[in-house]
Amino acid sequence: MQATQVAIVGAGPSGLLLAQLLQGQGIDSVVLERHNREYVEARIRAGVLESTTVELLREAGIGERLLREGLVHDGFELAFGERLHRIDLRALTGRQVLVYGQTEIQKDLGDARAASGAPVVWEATDVRLESLEAPHPWLTYSHAGRRRELRCEFIAGCDGYHGVCRASVPSERITCYERVCPFGWLGLLADVPPVSEELIYINHERGFSLCSMRSRTRSRYYLQCPLTDKVDEWTDERFWSELRLRLPPRYVERLTTAASIEKSIAPLRSFVAEPMSFGRLFLVGDAAHIVPPTGAKGLNLAAADVRVLYHGLAEYYRTGRETLLQEYSARALGRVWKAVRFSWWLTSLTHKFTDEPFTDKLQAAEFDYLAHSRAASEALAENYVGLSFSE
C-alpha cells in the first residue's frame, strides 16, 4: 500500500501544475494518469494565457521557456463582415496576454516532474475513489497488471469532463448546469506563418472563424461547422477555401496554406458542476466546468482553480487550518461563472446561431456599440486578459 498527502487524479496541465506547486511547499503528492505520457503531450489544445496564469507557471518554476518563446499580444481584432475593430488590451487595461501552446506547457510540466523524481503513475486504469468524507480517503487502481491502493489526506480531481472524480460524487450531492451550442469548431493546425500578428475573431454570414497561432511559424485556424460534419469530409483544400471566404479582404492575400498537421471537430458547450468539493475531494478544471473556447478561458480557469486549491492546501499543512479549503468551491465558482458568462457572450456575438434576421441585427448593433464605446471595449478587454483575484 502506498501513501501520500495529496492524491492527484489526472496528469494534464492542472494536475501537474498543482503537483509542482505543492512540491515547492514540501507537500507530497502522487499523480495518477490513465494514459501514457506521450499521449497526454500530443493532445492539441489552445494557448492564450492570462497574466495570472503566467505568474502561477513562473511560481511553479517552469516559466523560463514560456517567457523566452511565448508571444506577447497587446490586443486582438474583431471582424464583422468587412468591418474590423481592434481591442487594444494594453491601452484599455494596462495588461497583455501571452500565446504559448498548451502542448508546450504540458511538456514543460512533464519535464519538471520527471526531473524532480516525484511519482507520476502513467497508465493507471480503473481508478476508484473511496471514503471521500473520511479524514483519510483512498484510491484503488490497476497498474502493470496489479491492483494497487493509495492512501492520502486529500484528493484533487484533475481528470477532465469524462473522468472518474466528478462521477464519484453522489448524484444527489451535486448539481450540473449545461448549455450546448448547436455547432462545433473545425480546427486545423499547420506549419505556416500566422495571417496576422494578433488573433482575429470573425463574425461572417457563412459562420464564425478564428485566426490564431502557436508560434511565428505554426498557425491554428478554426471554422464554425455543423455538429453533423465529419473531419474526413473536410479536405485541406476545402478548409483553406472556406477560410478565404470568411476572412476580411485585407487578410486574404496574406494567408499562407500548407498541409495540415492535425484536424479535429470540437463541440461547444458551457457546463458547471456545483459544488466543486465533496468531503476530501476537490474538483479542478474540466472535471468541474467547461466553457466554449471563444475567449480562451478553459486552461486559465483550470489554473485559477489550481491557485485557489494550492493556497488552501498550503495553509492547511502550514497551520492546520482548513478555512481556505472549506472556501475552495465558493471562491473558484465565483470566477468560473464570470468566465462562463463572458465566453457565452463572446460566442453569441461572433457565431451564427440561426438564420433569424432579428439575431443578425442584434449582433450588428453589439459590434457597432463595441466599435464606438470605450467603456464597452474596456469591459471586453478586462474579461479577456482575466479578472483579478480580488474581484
* Catalytic site positions: 73, 201, 293, 297, 384
Using the structure block, give the residue that is written with the C-alpha cell 502550514: 318
47 Cβ neighbours under 8 A, 6+ residues apart: 99, 100, 101, 102, 103, 104, 105, 214, 296, 299
Round to whole Å and give the CA distance between 60 and 113: 11
381 Cβ neighbours under 8 A, 6+ residues apart: 87, 88, 89, 92, 93
CB atoms inside a 10 Å sphere around CB 65? 14
Using the structure block, give the residue that is written with the C-alpha cell 449545461: 178
Helix axes 357-372, 328-350, angle to 10 degrees: 110
Minimal CA–CA distance to 211: which of 192, 196, 227, 229? 196
Query: In this structure, what C-alpha cell is assigned to residue 257?
Result: 496554406
Minimal CA–CA distance to 95: which of 48, 46, 50? 50
Amino acid sitting at position 29: S
Residue 156 and residue 30 in contact, taking contact as beta carbons nearer than 8 Å: no
Round to whole Å and give the CA distance between 155 and 131: 11
**Backbone dihedral angles phi then psi of residue 190, each to the nearest 5 degrees:** -150, 150
Minimal CA–CA distance to 127: which of 90, 82, 166? 166
Residue 75 and residue 36 in contact, taking contact as beta carbons nearer than 8 Å: no
CB atoms inside a 10 Å sphere around CB 192? 17
Residue 385 and residue 72 in contact, taking contact as beta carbons nearer than 8 Å: no
Residue 245 and residue 205 in contact, taking contact as beta carbons nearer than 8 Å: no
Round to whole Å and give the CA distance between 134 and 104: 38
